[in-house]
């Protein structure tokens, strides 16, 4: 009996990690799409004579839909299953990328890239990672969350240099076709490996001592998503997390992944070099996010968030002083530290959502992530407008530094006073996780 139990435990553990691995692959592919507006700016301006503002508008629509889709995607996963939602999302991003290669007008860029790719990548965001983690793991959730959170930036690291080289030596259209083919190639892997719940294969969640039956599908996905938002909006922690995460989006996706390469190019740095620096940020982002997940299992998530935001603000202030035409030691230091901090905020925010909102935490995080994307979209659009108006990105860096300081204060004023239901969930999780 002992050997049989041990075999089942090992099998459950292996299956959970395989599910996490294919989920990470889907998130990695989706992450590759997020940096494309930055490296497409110059080619699109040269071919179509579009302004930075019009290009930034498409990126902003993409980011907003990315955020708004996420909570509904989490509810749809509870209704129709994770696998179906992920396969549909991969089809949407592939279609959006391919249609973008046929465009002739700026509104088409907004439609194909902003709407279609935004809907698809929003369904492959960290609400997917949160849902998979909540279902397949009862221990090491912080670590798994950190690993999956790093997937989007790993996608940037893996694809960005190759996409930049393709655009520089061929054209921007083959780069988009390559992304579409990557999304389509992942689909069979998702179909074969990903399952909606451990009970589908007769196993327990990783770290659980008991078998958990698969929950029944939850009808009314749209209604449930709005109801969860209404209930969460009545609590103070939700708004504090929303404010902090909106600033997080503005100071990462919104400005860095859309405007860092053009800003570096303003100082004489080749776009390919700037794209390589962004890829290096992705290298350290993976390490930083996984480390943040490990720390979140052991430390106060609020203090971690505050520390991350303060350090990020200092980096923003330094950027106008260190950006030059060539790569130097201060710029490499910036790349390393910013990479470590970039997505490090995600595991603590997910942990706080789980603490306060229990089984609804994936949807609540989806709404929090929507605020993240609204902040990112605002910075993406306004960053381009500011560059057109002032001829420099310097005012943007200083404004974001001030916002990061405000986000640190918002993080520190969150009070851990969970309700009775979430208190029971928290105690169960803490007692079953040896890492705590």
Of 52, 50, 6, the residue nearest 262 (C-alpha): 52
Confidence band, pLDDT 50/70/90 cuts, at residue 432: very low
- Provide the pLDDT for residue 189: 93
Convert the pLDDT of each residue in 387-419 to its tens digit: 878 888 888 899 999 999 999 999 999 987 544
Q: H helices within 194-235, ranges in order?
A: 221-232
Q: How many CB atoms lie within 10 A of CB 160?
A: 28
| The predicted structure's pLDDT at residue 1 | 44
Instruction: Tell me if 45 sits within 8 A of 267, measured CB to CB.
Output: no
Give the residue extent of every domain in the chain.
Answer: 2-209+231-431
Contacts of 132 (CB under 8 A, 6+ apart): 19, 20, 23, 82, 148
357 Cβ contact partners less than 8 Å away, ≥ 6 residues apart? 228, 232, 364, 422
Question: pTM to 2 decimals?
Answer: 0.72
Q: What is the pLDDT of residue 417?
A: 59
Q: Give alpha helix (H) positions in 81-112.
A: 82-100, 106-109
Is 10 a residue whose pLDDT tops 70?
A: no
What backbone torsions phi and psi does residue 232 show, to the nearest 5 degrees?
Answer: -65, -35
Between residues 388 and 80, the one the model is more confident about: 80
Q: For residue range 251-270, list pLDDT tens digits in order.
A: 987 788 778 888 888 888 88
Say which residue, 74 or 3, is predicted with more confidence. 74
* Lowest-pLDDT range of 77-91, 291-305, 421-435: 421-435
Q: How far is CA 234 from CA 245, 308, 357, in A?
A: 18, 27, 12
Average pLDDT over residues 196-224: 81
Residue 321 scores a pLDDT above 50: yes
Count of Cβ atoms closer than 10 Å to residue 202 Cβ: 11
The verdict on domain 2-209+231-431 having CATH code 3.30.70.20 is: no
- What mean pLDDT comes out for the span 117-134? 88
Mean pLDDT for all residues in the chain: 84
Whether 368 has a pLDDT exceeding 70, the answer reads yes
Closest by CA to 155, choosing from 121, 123, 132, is 121
pLDDT at 234 over 90: yes
Where does the pLDDT of residue 306 fall: very low under 50, low under 70, confident under 90, or very high at 90 and above? Answer: very high
């Amino acid at each position: 009996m002992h050997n049989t139990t041990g075999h089942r435990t090992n099998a459950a553990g292996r299956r959970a990690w395989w599910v996490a691995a294919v989920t990470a692959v889907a998130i990695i592919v989706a992450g590759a799409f997020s940096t494309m507006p930055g490296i497409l700016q110059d080619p699109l301006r040269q071919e179509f004579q579009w302004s930075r503002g019009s290009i930034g508008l498409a990126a902003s629509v993409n980011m907003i839909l990315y955020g708004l889709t996420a909570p509904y995607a989490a509810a749809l996963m509870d209704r129709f299953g994770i696998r179906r939602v992920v396969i549909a999302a991969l089809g949407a991003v592939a279609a959006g990328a391919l249609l973008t290669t046929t465009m002739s007008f700026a509104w088409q860029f907004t439609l194909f890239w902003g709407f279609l790719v935004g809907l698809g990548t929003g369904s492959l965001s960290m609400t997917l990672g949160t849902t998979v983690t909540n279902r397949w793991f009862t221990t090491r959730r912080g670590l798994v969350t950190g690993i999956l959170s790093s997937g989007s930036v790993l996608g940037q690291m893996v694809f960005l240099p190759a996409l930049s080289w393709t655009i520089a030596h061929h054209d921007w259209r083959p780069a988009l076709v390559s992304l579409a083919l990557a999304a389509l190639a992942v689909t069979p892997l998702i179909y074969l490996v990903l399952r909606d719940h451990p009970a589908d294969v007769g196993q327990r969640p990783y770290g659980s001592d008991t078998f958990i039956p698969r929950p029944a599908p939850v009808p009314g996905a749209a209604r449930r998503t709005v109801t969860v938002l209404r209930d969460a909006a009545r609590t103070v922690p939700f708004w504090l997390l929303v404010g902090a995460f909106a600033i997080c989006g503005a100071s990462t996706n919104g400005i860095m992944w859309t405007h860092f390469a053009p800003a570096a190019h303003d100082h004489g740095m080749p776009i390919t070099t700037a794209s390589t620096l962004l890829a290096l940020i992705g290298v350290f982002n993976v390490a930083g996010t996984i480390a943040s997940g490990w720390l979140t299992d052991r430390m106060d998530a609020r203090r971690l968030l505050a520390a991350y935001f303060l350090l990020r603000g200092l980096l923003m202030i330094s950027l106008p002083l260190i950006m030059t035409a060539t790569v130097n030691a201060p710029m490499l230091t910036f790349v390393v530290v910013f990479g470590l901090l970039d997505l490090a905020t995600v595991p603590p925010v997910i942990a706080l959502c789980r603490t306060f909102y229990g089984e609804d935490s994936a949807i609540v995080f989806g709404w929090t992530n929507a605020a993240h994307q609204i902040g990112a979209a605002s910075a993406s659009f306004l960053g381009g407008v500011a560059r057109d108006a002032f001829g420099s990105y310097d005012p943007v860096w200083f404004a974001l530094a001030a916002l990061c300081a405000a986000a640190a204060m918002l993080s520190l004023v969150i009070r851990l006073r969970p309700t009775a239901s979430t208190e029971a969930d928290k105690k169960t999780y803490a007692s079953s996780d040896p890492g705590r």
